[in-house]
Each structure stands twice: as C-alpha cells, then as structure tokens.
Structure 1
Amino acid sequence: MSAHDHHDHADHTDHDHHGHGHHHAPANFNAAFAIGISLNIAFVAIEAFYGWKVNSLALLADAGHNLSDVIGLVLAWGGALAGKLTPDSRYTYGRKRAGIVAAFVNAVLLLVAMGSLGWEAVLRLQSPEPAEGFTMMAVASVGIVINAATALLFMRGSEHDLNLRGAYLHMAADALVSAGVVVAGGLALWLGWAWIDPVVSLLIAAVIVWGTWSLFKQSLHLLFDGVPDSVDLAAVDTLLTALPGVARVHDLHVWAMGTTDIALTAHLVMPDGGADDAFLQHATTQLHDRFGIDHVTLQVVREPFSQGCKA
C-alpha cells in the first residue's frame, strides 16, 4: 500500500535523526567493561586467598560473588557488542535482544549466588567459627573501592539501558557486600562475636535479592515481548486515534527490540485516506518524542481487513 511505503521513508528519516545516539551509546562503555573485568579478576584472587587463609565465610562468599560479577560483566559486554552487530538477511533486527538476554542471565546469576551465600551462612550459624577481623576489614575495604569505582563507570548508562543497569546493580551490590564484611570484621574484633560473620552475610544476601528482583522481572517481561515500562499503551492508542482522519487503531503492538530500542506496529483505519508523508512523519515524531519509540511501522487502511490481536 502506498501509505505504508510513504511511511517507510518517514520512519527512516526520523530514525536516522533521533536514533543515532542509541546505536553508538554502548561503544562508550567498552573501556568501562575492560577496566571493571580486569579489576575484579585481580580482586577475586586476593579475596579468595585471604578468605581461605583467615577462615572468613564473608570474605569467601564475597570472592564467589565477585567471580559471578566478572561473569556478569562479560555477559553484559557481550550483550552490548552483539546489540551493535549490523542487521543482515538472517537477522533483520540485528542481535539487539542480546542485551535483554544478558540482563536476564545477570539477574539469575546474582539470585543464585545470593541463594548459595544464604545457604552457607545458615550452615555456618549452626557452628560459628572465629575469623580474623582485621584481615577481613582490610581486604573488604579494597573491595568497596574497586566495586564502587566499577559501578560508577556504568551509572550513566544504567538509567536508559537494562543491560548496563544489570552490570551497575551487580557492582553496586558487590560494594554493599564488601561494606558488610568490614562491619562484620569490626564487630568480630570489638566484641568477639563469631556469629556476626554469617549473620551479616544473610542480611547482605536479603538486601541484594530485594534489589535484583525488579531487574529479573523486567528482563523476563521484555524477553516475552512485553510492553516496556516506559510506554503507556493506552496513551499510545489515544495519540494515534487523535491523529486527523483516524477513525480507530487496529492491531497495535509495542515491544522492545533490545535494551534501548522500542518498536511499534499498528493499522490506522482512515475511511477518507489522507495519510501523506507529512502525516506519517508527524505521527512518527510524536511517538518518538512522547514514548521513545524509534522503530515505527504504520499501515493505513480504509477498512480493516485482518482480525488483528486483541490488546
């Protein structure tokens, strides 16, 4: 249909103008990933050695968690790089969804790591063993610096990209775990409480599970083509219906192609026609400006000829 063809031109014009930043944003984080992974691998080795040497569950658990973070960062980096691959005849959208998959796996990894930490802490509570508080505090203090610094590298991107948010949450959680280990070491030194090590570990695990749950739910939602949280579907329907000449909107779909790209398809029922380039350009611009939807495909019909899906 000619109106659909016209729109293709309008869509690409708008997308080239507005979507430019989206395609190049992940490139800014290559250095962040490389630095974060290198720092954390070094710290895992240090922390595991001293945790084993002084018999601290909190230090060993933190080392294990840090190792899961290294894997998480590798996953997130892979997702960001895969999302930048050029679309081809086999993958017409490219591999943008890799970032959503990476965020989901990151969340699962973190939840499993915390479940394991919680289980170990419960077992240790039944037979508390004294730990070297000073060593715990010294090693964990280094962890706070490394993890907080790595988290800051991803903070800028975490607001708009679910994949980067996964990396940010992982590192921020690690900084919190390290802070908890410092507290546990201090109390063990001051009061001689052997049980404080596993108790602090349990508290940390609970806080991190609570913080990670939203990332898990959101990434799972997007994996099943759910409407992104930033988009109000009823408001999108209202916007399209309010366009001049549109009687109603038919077969409306909104989904996330990746962690920063949202797509929309819809049939606009226009009994009197009138969908020229200017009309479609206006609709595309409105959808981008109000909802951040970059990939818009509008099919204009005088009479709906397909059943569509019930939204």
Structure 2
Amino acid sequence: MGAGHDHGGHVRRAGERHRRPLWAALAVLTVFMIVEAVAAWLTGSLALLSDAGHMFTDVLGIGMALAAITAASRAARHTQRTFGLYRLEVLAALANAVLLSGVAIAVLVEAVRRFGDPPEVAAGPMLLVAVGGLVANIVAFLLLREGAQESLNVRGAYLEVLGDLLGSVGVIVAATVIALTGWLYADLVVAVAVGLFILPRTWQLAQAAIRVLVQAAPAHVDVARVRSTLAGVTGVCDVHDLHVWTLTSGMDVASAHLSLDPGADVGPVLAAARERLHEGFGIDHATLQVEPLASARLCQDSHW
C-alpha cells in the first residue's frame, strides 16, 4: 500500500512565476549585446569583447531557461512522462554552466595570446559602451535576483548576469586607466580577472545540476535523519528502501518502505509519516509503501 502527493504546483510556481522577469532581462541584454559586439570590433578591446561574449551567453542562457520553463509547464502528463518535463530546467542550468565556462576559457586564451603585443584600444567609445552595459546588467540583475533563490535554472541565468555586471565594471576601470595612463595591458588584465572570477561559480552551478541529474540526495537533507524520523512514527518498526532525490528546483521527493507493528492502523501511520517529511525536510511528494514486518525480507535483494 502506498501514499503520496503530487507537488507539481509548487514547481510550476517556482519556475513560471519568474517568466516575466526573464523575458524583460532577455530584451534588455539582447539590445546591449549587439551594441557591445559592434563596439568591441570598432575599438579593438578584448575586455569589451569578453563582456559582449558573456552577454551573449546571458541571452542564450535566459533563452534556454525560458524554453525549459515553457516546455515543463506545457508538458502533457501521460504514461511515458509521469513527472512532466521538469528536469529540462536542470539540463538548461547545466548547459548554461558549460557555455559560460567555454566563453571564459576562450577569453583567457585570447588574453594570453595578446600579452606579447597588446593592440591599441579606443578608450573613449569603450568607456561609453561599458557604462551602458553596466546599466543593462544592473537592470537584469535586479530582475533575476529573487528567482535565483528558488530555481536552479534561473540561478544559472543570474550567475551569468552577475559575471557580466562585474565585467562591465572591469571594462570601465580598464577604459579609464587606458585613457589616463595609456597602459594597454589594463584591457587584458580585466579580461583575465573576469574570466577567473566566473569559472569557479559556473563549476559550482554545474555541480549542483549534476547532483540533481544523478539523483543524489539534496545537500540540505540528511538521509540518516529522514530514516530515523520515519522510524520514530508510532506503529513503524522498520524503514528500508529509502530514497531521497531532487526532481527539479523546489521539488524534493522521497520513497520508502515502512514495516508496521502488528495491529498498526495504516491510515494514521501514513498521515504522520507525510507530516514529518513535510515539517522536518520540506518533502511534500513522497511514495510510502507500508507492509507487515515479515515482508521486509522480500526487499533484501534490492540494493539500490
């Protein structure tokens, strides 16, 4: 016998309610991405090109985030798609991390190549465009900040925008230094600094996404404590085949077999177990199988 909740409504709110800010951020960043790319070509600035490249990943990343949220919310529930397409949001976050890492590495390689002979840079236009890019990134940063706390997918876009924001600050600093001192290496130093700042954060995002994809227990959930909590429910004498994983951002799920004392009432046991999972761990989607203690031996062959 089993029991569980469908908690898809919360997942939809976690992703869908941030769709409008994502669209607004996408529009703002697309415009300034084009402006920065043209300006980087005209001024010869690697730092500005780096910022434009990061902004391109922002645009692409936000586009993937929106596509994943839309697909997940519209996915038809049928026998072959019992959890919809919520995992697409995690795949989009992983793709964003890989994409941003690739851009950062490409900029670092180009910076090293240019260190022997830094090209001339038009500091004035570079500074003007960087200020505009900073404003665009601040707007996008504020739009995505709330959603980054709830959705791994939105967090990927948020981290890209954060990197862009810092990149714009760096370009402004580089342009100012070049204008005042003529030291062309400032452009390359800033490009390298932004790349080195972004890489660790993209790797953290990738690790979080991979943790979900391999169905590891959520970092904030102590599985041993989940087991002891379920075992403490009145009428439960054994807990086995316990699994806890994350389906997508905001949706932790669990399954377990509960062996009951003779004469235990199934209904109150299931209600108490669900309540403890909700209150202690925030798990609202659980499949719990209850069985007589003698049946536990039948589960011993399952080692996963």
Report the TM-score when normalising by structure 2: 0.93
Q: Specify the SS of the correspondent of 1:267.
A: strand
Q: Specify the SS of the correspondent of 1:82.
A: helix
Preserved CA contact (<8 Å) 1:226 1:256: yes
Partner of 1:67: 56
Partner of 1:38: 27
Partner of 1:87: 77
Partner of 2:219: 229
Partner of 1:285: 275
Query: CA–CA distance in 2 between the matches of 1:185 and 1:161?
Result: 36
Query: CA–CA distance in 1 between the matches of 2:301 and 2:115?
Result: 58
Q: Any residues of structure 2 matched to 1:148-159 within 5 Å, and which?
A: 148-159=138-149
Structure 1, residues 115-157: CA drift from partner, whole Å, max 9, x if none? 1111111111121112122222211111111112112212112
1:141 maps to 2:131: yes
Preserved CA contact (<8 Å) 1:47 1:139: yes
Partner of 2:40: 51
Q: Which moved more, 1:149-158 or 1:273-282?
A: 273-282
User: Relative to 1, partners in 2 of residues 1:102 and 1:273: Cα closer, same or farther, differing over 3 Å?
Assistant: farther
1:189 maps to 2:179: yes
Aligned mate of 1:259, from 244, 249, 258: 249
1:248 maps to 2:238: yes
Preserved CA contact (<8 Å) 1:47 1:60: yes
Cα offset, 1:173, TM superposition? 1.1
Query: Residue 281 of structure 1 aligns to which amino acid in structure 2?
Result: A
Partner of 2:204: 214
Query: Residue 258 of structure 1 aligns to which amino acid in structure 2?
Result: T
For structure 1, which runs of at least 5 residues remain unmatched after alignment? none
Cα offset, 1:309, TM superposition? 4.7
Cα offset, 1:39, TM superposition? 1.3
Preserved CA contact (<8 Å) 1:73 1:167: yes
Cα offset, 1:230, TM superposition? 2.2
User: Relative to 1, partners in 2 of residues 1:308 and 1:140: Cα closer, same or farther, differing over 3 Å?
Assistant: farther
1:166 maps to 2:156: yes
Cα offset, 1:162, TM superposition? 0.8
Cα offset, 1:273, TM superposition? 4.9
Aligned mate of 1:270, from 251, 260, 266: 260
Cα offset, 1:279, TM superposition? 2.2
User: Relative to 1, partners in 2 of residues 1:273 and 1:236: Cα closer, same or farther, differing over 3 Å?
Assistant: farther
Query: CA–CA distance in 2 between the matches of 1:285 and 1:65?
Result: 45
Query: CA–CA distance in 2 between the matches of 1:30 and 1:209?
Result: 26
Aligned length in residues: 300
Q: RMSD between aligned alpha carbons?
A: 1.7
Cα offset, 1:214, TM superposition? 1.1
Preserved CA contact (<8 Å) 1:115 1:205: yes
Query: Residue 72 of structure 2 aligns to which amino acid in structure 1?
Result: G
Query: CA–CA distance in 2 between the matches of 1:273 and 1:250?
Result: 20
Query: CA–CA distance in 2 between the matches of 1:186 and 1:131?
Result: 11
Structure 1, residues 224-265: CA drift from partner, whole Å, max 9, x if none? 111111211111111111111222211111111112211101
Percent identical residues: 34
Q: Specify the SS of the correspondent of 2:197.
A: helix
Q: Tell me which stretches of 4 or more aligned residues in structure 1 moved more than 4 Å.
A: 308-311
Preserved CA contact (<8 Å) 1:118 1:202: yes
Partner of 1:306: 299
Report the TM-score when normalising by structure 1: 0.91
User: Relative to 1, partners in 2 of residues 1:275 and 1:121: Cα closer, same or farther, differing over 3 Å?
Assistant: farther
For structure 2, which runs of at least 5 residues remain unmatched after alignment? none
Query: CA–CA distance in 2 between the matches of 1:98 and 1:274?
Result: 41
